[in-house]
Structure 1
Amino acid sequence: MSSATSTASLPSGLSVLTTFPDVLFIPEIVFGGLVWILVASSRVPLPITQGWVMFVSVFCFLMSTILLCLYLGGVHGGSSFWVTLDVIFQETAALFYLSAAVLEANFTYFARSLDPTFPAIYRENIAAVVFAFLATLVYVIHKVFSLLRWKSS
């Protein structure tokens, strides 16, 4: 795999799946989809908190999938605009997922006292917290390497 600092432009075609920061789209989509599924399947005693987590997971899942498909299709054409767009998206997604993961963890911690039947769905929320923090980590790593690529372009 090539590093982000050796290529200043985005890869296209199947080489997207062999370039380090861009191969992180796959775990971003997987972890984001798992957060989406777990939050959607749990009961919602606090809709505002769960709503933000749901928005973040759906937004980032769709945007990561769209960007991956655009990069696979070679739509960017080597333009530096796409490198900047990649950095902006990765920074936004990392910040959004960090806030969503913290809110989901806070909700899971305090929700036991709100709903007496909560232990039945406690494991789903714990899993959502774990996958939200994993998604945050992957987005932060992708952001760092996207910033390095943007700086060298």
Structure 2
Amino acid sequence: MSSPDDSGSTIPSGCSVFVSFPELLMLGEFVFGGLVWILVASARVAFVYDQGWVMFVSVFCFVITTVLFILYMLGVQRCSSGWTVVDVFYHFIAAVFYLSIAVLQATDTRAGLYYGKTYRINIAATVFAFVATLLYTIHAISSIVRWKTSS
């Protein structure tokens, strides 16, 4: 007979989300993704359509990461199977999206006619976008390893 904790999900729940390795990265993804969002929103932009994509990705990933983190804390992954696949899929897509906006932000910062404070804000947004890309990539790889070892 299986226990209630034996649902096949290897994603932790409750307060253990704060101490498990891949889920701990979600806090960094939340912080650095939020910083990208705030910095891009506060700077004057030369390439409006490019910055629209940057804002969409940063806000989308910020919201979905927050929702997933709360759901994992509540233990929703223990009620049904398939959450490890959701975790892998989301973090892989987020890593690809963040790589696209990090490169786009770097290109626009280099090509734009920014001076002074706006230039520094865009450089900081670029650096934080690359840090968020790294965090999402590490989380995606860790989620793939967890998914493969659990099946």
- Which of 136, 139, 144 is the aligned partner of 1:139? 136
Taking structure 1 as the reference length, the TM-score comes to 0.90
- After superposition, the C-alpha distances for 1:101-153 in whole angstroms (9 at most, x for unaligned) are 000000000002xxxxx203100000000000000000000011000001012
TM-aligned CA deviation for residue 80 of structure 1? 3.3
Residue 91 (structure 2) aligns with: 90
Secondary structure of the 2:77 match is coil
Larger mean CA deviation between 121-130 and 75-84 belongs to 75-84
- Residues 65-80 of structure 1: matches in 2 within 5 Å? 65-77=66-78, 79-80=80-81
Provide the rounded CA distance (Å) in 2 between the counterparts of 1:83 and 1:62: 19
Cα shift at 1:8: 6.1
**1:150 is the counterpart of 2:132:** no
Shift >4 Å, 4+ stretches:
none
- Cα offsets for 1:22-57 (capped at 9, x unmatched): 110000000000000000001122111101110110
Structure 1: runs of 5 or more not aligned: 1-6, 113-117
Partner of 1:33: 34
Contact 2:84 2:143 in 1 (8 A): yes
Q: Secondary structure of the residue that 1:10 maps to in structure 2?
A: coil
Structure 1 74/8 Cα, relative in aligned 2: closer, same or farther at 3 Å? closer
Identity %: 55
Q: Hey, what's the Cα distance between the residues in 1 that align with 2:79 and 2:143?
A: 15
- For structure 2, the 5+ residue unaligned runs are 1-7
For residues 83 and 123 of structure 2, the distance between their equivalents in structure 1, rounded to whole angstroms, comes to: 36
CA contact (8 A) 2:9 2:78 kept: no
* CA displacement at 1:79 relative to structure 2: 3.6
RMSD: 1.3
Counterpart secondary structure, 1:134: helix
Distance 1:89 1:80 in 2: 16
CA distance in 1, matches of 2:141, 2:147: 10
Q: Secondary structure at the match of 1:80?
A: coil
Q: Contact between 2:9 and 2:77, CA under 8 Å: does it hold in 1?
A: no
Report what 2:4 is aligned to: none
Residue 119 of structure 1 aligns to a residue whose secondary structure is: coil
